[in-house]
Chains A and B, each alone.
Chain A
Amino acid sequence: MITASLRENPAALSTFRVSVVPPATAADWSRRGFLKAAGTSVGLVIAFQFTGKPARAAALDAAKNPSAASGTFAPNAFLRIAPDGSVTIFINHAEMGQGIITALPMLIAEELDADWSKVRTEFASTAPAYNHSAFGIQMTGGSSSTWSEYERLRTAGATARALLVQAAADQWKLPAAELSTENSHVLHTATGKKISYGDLVEHAAKLTPPEKVALKDPKNFRLLGKPTRRLDSRAKVTGTAEFGLDVKQPGVLTAVVARSPAFGGKVETFDPAPSLAVPGVKAVFKVPSGVAIIAENFWAAKRARDAVISTISWKLSDDARIDSDKQAAQFAALAKTPGNIAEKTGDAEAALKSAAKTIEADYAVPYLAHAPMEPLNATVHLRDGEAEIWTGTQFQTVDHMTAATVLALKPDKVQLHTTFLGGGFGRRATPASDWIVEACHIAKAARTAGITVPIKTVWTREDDLAGGYYRPMFHHRLVGGLDAQGKVVAWHQTIVGQSFIAGTPFEAMMIKNGVDETSVEGAAHSVYKIPARLVHAHSPKVPVPTLWWRSVGHTHTALAVECFIDELAHAAGRNPLDLRRELLPPESRQRRVLDLAIEKSGYGKTKLPAGRAHGIAVHESFGSFVAQVAEVSLEDGWPRVHRITAAVDCGTAVNPLTIEAQVQGSVIYALSAILYGEITLKDGRVQQSNFHQYQVARMNEAPVVDVHVIATGDKMGGIGETGVPPTFAAVLNGLFTLTGKRIRSLPLSHADWS
């Protein structure tokens, strides 16, 4: 989600200041965002700084390791070794399925030469020592966890190893240089001496960490690059992994909220009596986002909410009465006008005028909900002058600071605990901390009402789907020019869609010349060698909260670009693979993955069964490169994807088993959006309530996904999102090859194949 400019300029986030004021309401918060809210400041203003500590200094900040128990060896914030030899790794990134709970320990264990069977994990607390090494806040996103920890955690492991070696050298009165390590032991080969790490912790804990440690040459890796099983599987197959919704605190009560039927609505009046008549209900009160019910358990709270809904009178503004069909038409019209310039290379307008042939196409995609399997929730325990929060989040620092502001507490009086996340996909990285802000308002109001126990605010699936923060609706208009020889000479793309960066702390880095980088990433500055290129962007303001959704802008730019490349090939009477090979630099990483996917899929060589066709796409995102070949058919007029052959270049492959899983999951995540995904609004009301209306792909629709990984040692990219973008175009291109019909809007449930 956080994209190239931040990665190339990592200091950016580490130095800017963010002012947080309590918003009048949660809806205000999301609409106005941090910075505008600060400008209209009323009430408490807390300024905080995202500290950008040097990676090593943070890693060595032993005092910040909150779980360091006495008698153990905790040389930095990321690991602890106990006398029994167990190695506990503190996981500072959210585990939401992407396997970081295994990848991060691999980085430490490699350099520590730890016995992998003795490695345990705990989720780290929210503390500056755990800030993202590049982005300066504690967070998980942008497919950045592994590359951003690659040096820091290896250094943490190597530092611990150096201290253990020194401890053994001291005990044996031998030079440290003569000692080696293996499987959680220090060895002296010449004498056959051997001692376990557990037996060294007491001594090692007294030593001063070295200023510098050497990291292993990758050719000596024992763990990194080897398929390594997840460390959390056992907990997840026995039902013992604790997600936010499972948090059990003594006396905990459940809250649900009756929220506005359209975005931004305010409660005018309501009658609590029918709710209070439901057994088990403790309190009913107004909060900025609606009417909250507190009850002994979820079922009582939900029944009480059902009872209150008809009594609420809402104040809705006229501009909230959004009709997404009308909006799509407005976006299409806007796409015919020039916007802010995202890329200008050569003179595309002149090149189009003089082109032998021009081709035009419009692509449209709807709002999409993330719909993680675990609906949003947060447990807040507000006590005298302090608070504790338990939630599954991708955005600890932002949530922590925002919660402190809402609770009117100093940040150091608020503890934020991260649980397992039942899926994230970006929804749990919200600059507005929407669900945590609401849970804090509820805890505050409950305390005023005399309730002092922890309160778990639970969203139903219906709440989750109607709750906003969608992938924005986008419209792309493309005009391409071909010369008489069928070469692509001009490309003009106009992109229309909301900016969710505007009004957040990320604006200064990610919006340039009025262009939100997340709207145009994957379209502007394409690797394709086209001499004249013009990319325009419009960011219309719409009061529907939007957000990054697994692979962000690439979800729609890869679709538009890779389908339009096929359209140009077709118009030129050329094979889409040949055209891509002509347009891609021969040494490019895109070219390398494309060639591999073509080879592995048998594209153009293997004869497919009757009624099937191949489609191809290649795309870079999050520093990684993925090509896919989709094998598709139509069965009774319904598209079916049989197989996706994917080739992936992420530079360095830490855990091939995870990479395969992420690409398999990404392909099918995209397939859900291709086949079914859409959130629509009529009169401001979201039309989809649950999984029967917001369908996602099921087992019987899941294609075979073959994943081929190239580990080149080139610059390391991310893996959690990069498998998503090419699927959109590979499937649509395959269906065009099959039917001769070019579908340019999603989802395919609306497509007419006749």
Chain B
Amino acid sequence: MKFSLTVNGQSRSVDADPETPLLWILRDHLDLVGTKYGCGIGQCGACTVHIDGEAARACSLPLSTLGDKKVVTIEGLSTDASHPLQKSWCSLDVPQCGYCQAGQIMSAAALLAKNPHPTDTDIDESMAGNLCRCATYTRIRAGIHEAARLASDAKNSPKAQLQEAAK
């Protein structure tokens, strides 16, 4: 069956079994392999993407349920690794094997979008669905706090305040 999807701001059409999980549409049909397969049952979070801005497990979302919802993957988070989480992940050396990190970052980005200054408890609640077998949790936590600080600094920069005032 033919479907039209909005992925990373682009309209994409795919011809696939309607039951195919979004994860495999992204990986096998749209060549977006940044979103990872880890468990297939929504237990590990490696496949986390944004659906209309909410973190969701792509392994558990059949193609037929997506409709005109907007899908954002790690490839669409920024074009140049400039998202505050991508910056803090690099500066704090968060990744180890790196396999789960796209999912970690997508979950953390959804958290920060709603809660710009999360507490450790907020982080525990939002990130407990994302497994990391290398157990980079210590630095993921620090990376989220650091990204919150970077985003806040950017927002409060003189330039950003001028832009805000001009609106």
Q: Which residues of A contact B (CB under 8 A)?
A: 95-99, 229-230, 232-243, 245-246, 248, 254, 279-280, 296-300, 303, 371-375, 420-425, 460-461, 657, 661, 664-669, 671-672, 690-692, 696-700, 702, 704-705
Chain A residue contacts of B73, Cβ below 8 A: 239
Q: Contacts A245-B37, A700-B124 given; indicate if A233 touches B89 (C-beta within 8 A).
A: yes
Q: Bound complex: CA of A671 vs CA of B132, how far in Å?
A: 13
Contact B43 A692 (CB under 8 A): yes
Contact B90 A234 (CB under 8 A): yes
Chain B residue contacts of A664, Cβ below 8 A: 135-136, 138-139
Contact A239 B135 (CB under 8 A): no
Q: Contacts A375-B37, A692-B41 given; indicate if A665 touches B75 (C-beta within 8 A).
A: no
Q: Report A97 CB to chain B, min CB distance, Å.
A: 3
List residues of B (1-34) whose CB comes within 8 Å of A's CBs: 16-17, 19-21, 24, 27-29, 31-34
List residues of B (59-99) whose CB comes within 8 Å of A's CBs: 73-75, 78, 81, 85-86, 89-91, 93-99
| Chain B interface SS verdict (over half) | loop
Contact B93 A229 (CB under 8 A): yes
Q: Report B125 CB to chain A, min CB distance, Å.
A: 8
Q: Contacts A237-B86, A664-B139, A691-B43 given; indicate if A423 touches B97 (C-beta within 8 A).
A: yes
Q: Contacts A696-B131, A697-B135 given; indicate if A420 touches B75 (C-beta within 8 A).
A: no
Which of B17, B39, B97, B133 is close to A300, meaning CB atoms less than 8 Å apart?
B17
Q: Report A566 CB to chain B, min CB distance, Å.
A: 25
Which of B32, B33, B95, B132 is close to A233, meaning CB atoms less than 8 Å apart?
B95
Chain B residue contacts of A245, Cβ below 8 A: 33, 36-37
Chain A residue contacts of B95, Cβ below 8 A: 97, 230, 232-233, 236-237
Q: Contacts A243-B99, A373-B44 given; indicate if A661 touches B136 (C-beta within 8 A).
A: yes
Contact B105 A237 (CB under 8 A): yes
Chain B residue contacts of A372, Cβ below 8 A: 97, 99, 133
Contact B133 A298 (CB under 8 A): no
Chain B residue contacts of A665, Cβ below 8 A: 96, 134-136
Q: Which of B43, B94, B97, B128 has the most CB of A within 10 A?
A: B97
List residues of B (116-167) whose CB comes within 8 Å of A's CBs: 123-125, 127-141
Contact B24 A246 (CB under 8 A): no
Contact pattern, B 29-53, Cβ under 8 Å of A = 1, otherwise 0:
1011111111111011010000000
Q: Report A561 CB to chain B, min CB distance, Å.
A: 24
Chain A residue contacts of B56, Cβ below 8 A: none
Which of A242, A248, A254, A423 is close to B133, meaning CB atoms less than 8 Å apart?
A423
Q: Report A225 CB to chain B, min CB distance, Å.
A: 16
Chain A residue contacts of B102, Cβ below 8 A: 237, 239
Contact A661 B41 (CB under 8 A): no
Q: Contacts A246-B33, A373-B38, A690-B41 given; indicate if A705 touches B74 (C-beta within 8 A).
A: no
Residue of A nearest to B28 (CB): A297
Q: Report A301 CB to chain B, min CB distance, Å.
A: 10
